[in-house]
Protein backbone atom coordinates (compact mmCIF):
# COMPACT_ATOMS: atom_id res chain seq x y z
CA UNK A 1 0.00 0.00 0.00
CA UNK A 2 2.81 2.41 0.89
CA UNK A 3 4.46 1.84 -2.49
CA UNK A 4 1.13 2.42 -4.22
CA UNK A 5 0.67 5.78 -2.47
CA UNK A 6 4.21 6.81 -3.38
CA UNK A 7 3.50 5.98 -7.02
CA UNK A 8 0.41 8.20 -6.96
CA UNK A 9 2.41 11.08 -5.43
CA UNK A 10 5.07 10.74 -8.14
CA UNK A 11 2.40 10.76 -10.86
CA UNK A 12 0.80 13.89 -9.43
CA UNK A 13 4.19 15.58 -9.17
CA UNK A 14 5.08 14.68 -12.78
CA UNK A 15 1.71 15.90 -13.99
CA UNK A 16 2.14 19.19 -12.11
CA UNK A 17 5.59 19.66 -13.61
CA UNK A 18 4.18 18.97 -17.08
CA UNK A 19 1.41 21.47 -16.51
CA UNK A 20 3.91 24.11 -15.42
CA UNK A 21 5.97 23.51 -18.55
CA UNK A 22 2.84 23.75 -20.69
CA UNK A 23 1.72 26.94 -18.98
CA UNK A 24 5.18 28.44 -19.40
CA UNK A 25 5.20 27.59 -23.09
CA UNK A 26 1.77 29.18 -23.56
CA UNK A 27 2.86 32.36 -21.78
CA UNK A 28 6.03 32.58 -23.90
CA UNK A 29 3.99 32.10 -27.08
CA UNK A 30 1.59 34.86 -26.06
CA UNK A 31 4.49 37.21 -25.36
CA UNK A 32 5.96 36.51 -28.81
CA UNK A 33 2.57 37.07 -30.46
CA UNK A 34 2.19 40.39 -28.66
CA UNK A 35 5.69 41.51 -29.69
CA UNK A 36 5.19 40.56 -33.36
CA UNK A 37 1.70 42.06 -33.36
CA UNK A 38 2.96 45.31 -31.90
CA UNK A 39 5.73 45.57 -34.50
CA UNK A 40 3.24 44.96 -37.30
CA UNK A 41 0.84 47.51 -35.83
CA UNK A 42 3.64 50.06 -35.43
CA UNK A 43 4.76 49.68 -39.05
CA UNK A 44 1.19 49.64 -40.38
CA UNK A 45 0.30 52.88 -38.65
CA UNK A 46 3.34 54.78 -39.94
CA UNK A 47 1.45 56.22 -42.92
CA UNK A 48 0.25 59.72 -43.73
CA UNK A 49 -0.11 60.51 -40.02
CA UNK A 50 3.61 59.78 -39.71
CA UNK A 51 5.14 60.20 -43.21
CA UNK A 52 7.81 57.77 -44.33
CA UNK A 53 10.65 60.10 -45.25
CA UNK A 54 13.27 59.43 -47.88
CA UNK A 55 15.99 61.01 -49.99
CA UNK A 56 17.32 60.63 -53.50
CA UNK A 57 21.01 61.18 -54.15
CA UNK A 58 23.78 61.14 -56.70
CA UNK A 59 27.50 61.79 -56.55
CA UNK A 60 26.76 65.53 -56.48
CA UNK A 61 25.98 65.14 -52.78
CA UNK A 62 29.58 64.22 -51.96
CA UNK A 63 30.28 62.43 -48.69
CA UNK A 64 27.15 61.22 -46.87
CA UNK A 65 26.73 60.21 -43.23
CA UNK A 66 23.96 57.66 -43.68
CA UNK A 67 23.62 56.89 -39.99
CA UNK A 68 23.00 60.55 -39.26
CA UNK A 69 20.31 60.63 -41.97
CA UNK A 70 18.70 57.63 -40.25
CA UNK A 71 18.76 59.50 -36.93
CA UNK A 72 17.09 62.46 -38.68
CA UNK A 73 14.16 60.26 -39.64
CA UNK A 74 15.12 59.20 -43.17
CA UNK A 75 13.95 55.65 -43.87
CA UNK A 76 14.67 55.08 -47.56
CA UNK A 77 16.98 56.28 -50.32
CA UNK A 78 16.87 56.10 -54.10
CA UNK A 79 20.42 56.28 -55.43
CA UNK A 80 21.41 57.22 -58.96
CA UNK A 81 23.08 54.26 -60.65
CA UNK A 82 23.27 55.00 -64.37
CA UNK A 83 22.49 57.44 -67.16
CA UNK A 84 22.18 56.65 -70.83
CA UNK A 85 24.27 53.87 -72.29
CA UNK A 86 27.67 54.29 -70.64
CA UNK A 87 27.51 56.57 -67.60
CA UNK A 88 27.71 54.97 -64.15
CA UNK A 89 27.42 57.22 -61.10
CA UNK A 90 30.85 56.96 -59.39
CA UNK A 91 29.32 56.86 -55.91
CA UNK A 92 26.50 54.39 -56.56
CA UNK A 93 28.21 51.30 -55.15
CA UNK A 94 29.54 53.05 -52.03
CA UNK A 95 26.29 54.88 -51.31
CA UNK A 96 24.23 51.73 -51.75
CA UNK A 97 26.32 49.60 -49.38
CA UNK A 98 26.61 52.26 -46.69
CA UNK A 99 22.92 53.20 -46.80
CA UNK A 100 21.94 49.54 -46.46
CA UNK A 101 24.33 49.05 -43.53
CA UNK A 102 22.81 52.10 -41.83
CA UNK A 103 19.39 50.43 -41.97
CA UNK A 104 17.78 52.35 -44.82
CA UNK A 105 15.62 50.73 -47.49
CA UNK A 106 17.42 51.40 -50.77
CA UNK A 107 16.72 51.46 -54.48
CA UNK A 108 18.53 52.50 -57.66
CA UNK A 109 17.42 54.73 -60.51
CA UNK A 110 18.38 55.24 -64.15
CA UNK A 111 18.30 58.62 -65.90
CA UNK A 112 16.68 58.03 -69.29
CA UNK A 113 18.52 59.50 -72.28
CA UNK A 114 16.80 60.35 -75.57
CA UNK A 115 20.11 60.06 -77.42
CA UNK A 116 20.76 56.32 -77.17
CA UNK A 117 18.83 53.08 -77.59
CA UNK A 118 16.65 51.47 -74.94
CA UNK A 119 18.39 48.11 -75.04
CA UNK A 120 21.86 49.48 -74.32
CA UNK A 121 20.52 51.74 -71.58
CA UNK A 122 18.82 48.82 -69.86
CA UNK A 123 22.03 46.79 -70.13
CA UNK A 124 23.99 49.61 -68.50
CA UNK A 125 21.66 49.55 -65.50
CA UNK A 126 21.53 45.76 -65.27
CA UNK A 127 25.32 45.51 -65.40
CA UNK A 128 25.60 48.05 -62.58
CA UNK A 129 22.78 47.17 -60.17
CA UNK A 130 22.94 43.75 -58.57
CA UNK A 131 19.58 42.09 -58.03
CA UNK A 132 18.67 41.80 -54.34
CA UNK A 133 15.49 40.79 -52.50
CA UNK A 134 16.01 43.74 -50.14
CA UNK A 135 16.00 46.44 -52.82
CA UNK A 136 13.17 48.76 -53.84
CA UNK A 137 11.92 48.36 -57.42
CA UNK A 138 14.25 50.02 -59.95
CA UNK A 139 13.23 53.52 -61.00
CA UNK A 140 13.45 55.23 -64.41
CA UNK A 141 13.91 59.00 -64.36
CA UNK A 142 11.93 60.56 -67.23
CA UNK A 143 12.44 64.29 -67.65
CA UNK A 144 13.32 66.83 -70.32
CA UNK A 145 16.89 68.07 -70.30
CA UNK A 146 19.22 70.26 -72.36
CA UNK A 147 18.03 70.89 -75.89
CA UNK A 148 14.97 68.70 -75.32
CA UNK A 149 13.46 71.25 -72.96
CA UNK A 150 12.58 73.37 -76.00
CA UNK A 151 12.64 70.74 -78.76
CA UNK A 152 10.45 68.17 -77.06
CA UNK A 153 10.47 64.61 -78.44
CA UNK A 154 7.08 63.40 -79.67
CA UNK A 155 4.98 61.19 -77.43
CA UNK A 156 5.26 58.02 -79.52
CA UNK A 157 9.07 58.22 -79.59
CA UNK A 158 9.32 58.71 -75.83
CA UNK A 159 6.84 55.96 -75.01
CA UNK A 160 8.56 53.49 -77.32
CA UNK A 161 11.91 54.17 -75.65
CA UNK A 162 10.46 54.10 -72.14
CA UNK A 163 8.43 50.94 -72.74
CA UNK A 164 11.47 48.96 -73.84
CA UNK A 165 13.54 50.03 -70.83
CA UNK A 166 10.67 49.25 -68.45
CA UNK A 167 10.16 45.85 -70.05
CA UNK A 168 13.83 44.91 -69.80
CA UNK A 169 14.12 45.98 -66.17
CA UNK A 170 10.95 44.17 -65.16
CA UNK A 171 12.17 41.04 -66.87
CA UNK A 172 15.51 41.25 -65.03
CA UNK A 173 14.36 42.24 -61.53
CA UNK A 174 10.95 40.57 -61.43
CA UNK A 175 9.00 43.70 -60.50
CA UNK A 176 7.54 46.64 -62.38
CA UNK A 177 9.86 49.66 -62.21
CA UNK A 178 8.85 53.00 -60.71
CA UNK A 179 8.62 55.97 -63.10
CA UNK A 180 10.03 59.26 -61.79
CA UNK A 181 8.88 62.46 -63.47
CA UNK A 182 7.39 65.92 -62.89
CA UNK A 183 3.80 67.10 -63.51
CA UNK A 184 4.63 68.76 -66.84
CA UNK A 185 6.32 65.67 -68.31
CA UNK A 186 3.68 63.41 -66.77
CA UNK A 187 0.94 65.28 -68.64
CA UNK A 188 2.95 65.21 -71.89
CA UNK A 189 3.87 61.53 -71.97
CA UNK A 190 2.27 59.46 -69.21
CA UNK A 191 -1.19 60.76 -68.28
CA UNK A 192 -3.91 58.22 -69.00
CA UNK A 193 -1.35 55.49 -69.70
CA UNK A 194 0.98 53.39 -67.49
CA UNK A 195 -1.81 52.67 -65.01
CA UNK A 196 0.00 49.55 -63.82
CA UNK A 197 3.18 51.45 -62.90
CA UNK A 198 3.98 53.26 -59.67
CA UNK A 199 4.67 56.96 -60.15
CA UNK A 200 7.32 58.96 -58.30
CA UNK A 201 6.23 62.55 -58.87
CA UNK A 202 8.41 65.61 -58.32
CA UNK A 203 6.01 68.19 -56.92
CA UNK A 204 6.60 70.42 -53.87
CA UNK A 205 2.82 70.81 -53.41
CA UNK A 206 2.42 67.14 -52.41
CA UNK A 207 -0.85 66.75 -54.35
CA UNK A 208 -3.31 64.08 -53.26
CA UNK A 209 -3.53 62.73 -56.82
CA UNK A 210 -1.97 63.31 -60.23
CA UNK A 211 -3.77 65.28 -62.96
CA UNK A 212 -5.59 62.17 -64.24
CA UNK A 213 -6.64 61.07 -60.75
CA UNK A 214 -3.93 58.43 -60.37
CA UNK A 215 -2.34 58.13 -56.94
CA UNK A 216 1.39 58.66 -56.63
CA UNK A 217 3.59 56.20 -54.73
CA UNK A 218 6.55 58.49 -54.04
CA UNK A 219 6.71 62.28 -54.05
CA UNK A 220 9.87 64.35 -54.25
CA UNK A 221 8.68 67.42 -52.39
CA UNK A 222 11.90 69.41 -52.00
CA UNK A 223 15.14 69.98 -53.91
CA UNK A 224 16.65 72.01 -51.09
CA UNK A 225 16.56 69.87 -47.97
CA UNK A 226 19.32 70.95 -45.59
CA UNK A 227 21.40 68.61 -43.47
CA UNK A 228 24.96 68.43 -42.20
CA UNK A 229 24.85 64.71 -43.00
CA UNK A 230 25.84 65.44 -46.60
CA UNK A 231 28.93 67.26 -47.80
CA UNK A 232 26.92 69.55 -50.09
CA UNK A 233 24.51 70.34 -47.21
CA UNK A 234 21.59 70.06 -49.65
CA UNK A 235 19.58 66.98 -50.55
CA UNK A 236 16.35 66.04 -52.32
CA UNK A 237 13.57 65.02 -49.92
CA UNK A 238 10.94 62.41 -50.69
CA UNK A 239 7.89 60.82 -49.14
CA UNK A 240 6.37 57.38 -49.52
CA UNK A 241 2.58 57.14 -49.59
CA UNK A 242 2.19 54.18 -47.27
CA UNK A 243 3.57 52.58 -44.14
CA UNK A 244 7.15 51.59 -43.44
CA UNK A 245 6.08 47.94 -43.40
CA UNK A 246 4.56 48.31 -46.88
CA UNK A 247 7.72 50.01 -48.13
CA UNK A 248 9.93 47.21 -46.84
CA UNK A 249 7.74 44.60 -48.52
CA UNK A 250 7.18 46.41 -51.82
CA UNK A 251 7.19 44.08 -54.83
Q: What is the CATH number of the domain that holds 96?
A: 3.20.20.80
Q: Are 137 and 206 part of one and the same domain?
A: yes
Both 109 and 35 in a single domain?
no
**Do 27 and 63 share a domain, yes or no?**
no
Distance in angstroms (rounded) separating the CA atoms of residues 173 and 132: 8
37 shares its domain with 159: no
User: Based on the domain organization, do 146 and 233 belong to the same domain?
Assistant: yes
- DSSP three-state, residue 12: helix
pLDDT tens over the chain, length 251 residues:
555 444 545 544 555 555 544 454 455 544 543 443 444 444 344 444 568 999 999 999 999 999 999 999 999 999 999 999 999 999 999 999 999 999 999 999 999 999 999 999 999 999 999 999 889 999 999 999 999 999 999 999 999 999 999 999 999 999 999 999 999 999 999 999 999 999 999 999 999 999 999 999 999 999 999 999 999 989 999 999 999 999 999 98
Tally of domains within the chain: 2
Give yes or no for a contact between 199 and 214, defined as CB atoms under 8 angstroms apart: yes
Structural domain harbouring 213: 49-248
Amino acid sequence: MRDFLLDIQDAIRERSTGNLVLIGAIILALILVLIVGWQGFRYATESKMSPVKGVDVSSYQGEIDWRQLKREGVRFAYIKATEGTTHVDPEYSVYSKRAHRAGLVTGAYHFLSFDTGADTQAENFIDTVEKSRHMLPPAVDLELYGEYESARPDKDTVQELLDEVLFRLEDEYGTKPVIYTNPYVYDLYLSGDYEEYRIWISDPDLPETLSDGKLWTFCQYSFTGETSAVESHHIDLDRYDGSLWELKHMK
